[in-house]
Amino acid sequence: MHYLDRLQPLGLLVMRLALGVIMVVHGYHNVFSGLHHHVDIVHSLGMPNWLGYVSAFTEFLGGLLVLAGLFTRVAAFALAIDMFVAIWKVHWHNGLTGAVDRPGFEFPLAVFALAFALIFFGAGPIAFDHVLRGGGSGAAKR
């Protein structure tokens, strides 16, 4: 199964795209359609208002960075913290699967797992991070 090792960059790309799209869409809604509502929800959970702004912009901007594969590890770290707090403060008491009107933490846990993995694996070679580090084809480096 060594041939699958050569496809690991594709796996990292799919992970990045999945996490990035999820976070950009979720963050876009929080930033552009309901920022004050999101801040109020965060405050109602016993946290300072400013963390609501941090959370919303982390989701949106962090998602964009992950999509591009730019500063991926840092963005993934921020998104992992955001999802950890969401699980802990919002979804944990509903259980893993929750109920129809009370979502559980299964989806945020999956998103957390994607972000957590990207912290350690990085963006892979199909990303701006790779280009900025001087990556590319061997022929171009000669």
Rg (CA), the chain: 17
Residue 1 lies in a domain: no
In tens, the pLDDT along 84-133 reads 999 999 999 999 999 888 999 999 999 999 999 999 999 999 999 999 98
Residue 2 lies in a domain: no
Per the listing, tokens 């009107």 go with 101
Domain total of the chain: 1
The residue segments making up the domain with residue 124 are 12-137
Query: Quick one: tokens of 134?
Result: 């001087």
Residue 6 lies in a domain: no
Chain center to CA of 41:
20
Residue 142 lies in a domain: no
Residue 4 lies in a domain: no
What secondary structure, in 3-state letters, does the chain show? CHHHHCCHHHHHHHHHHHHHHHHHHHHHHHHHHCHHHHHHHHHHCCCCHHHHHHHHHHHHHHHHHHHHCCCHHHHHHHHHHHHHHHHHHHHHHHCCCECCCCECCHHHHHHHHHHHHHHHHCCCCCCHHHHHCCCCCHHHHC
Residue 132 lies in a domain: yes
In tens, the pLDDT along 42-89 reads 999 999 999 999 999 999 999 999 999 999 999 999 999 999 999 999
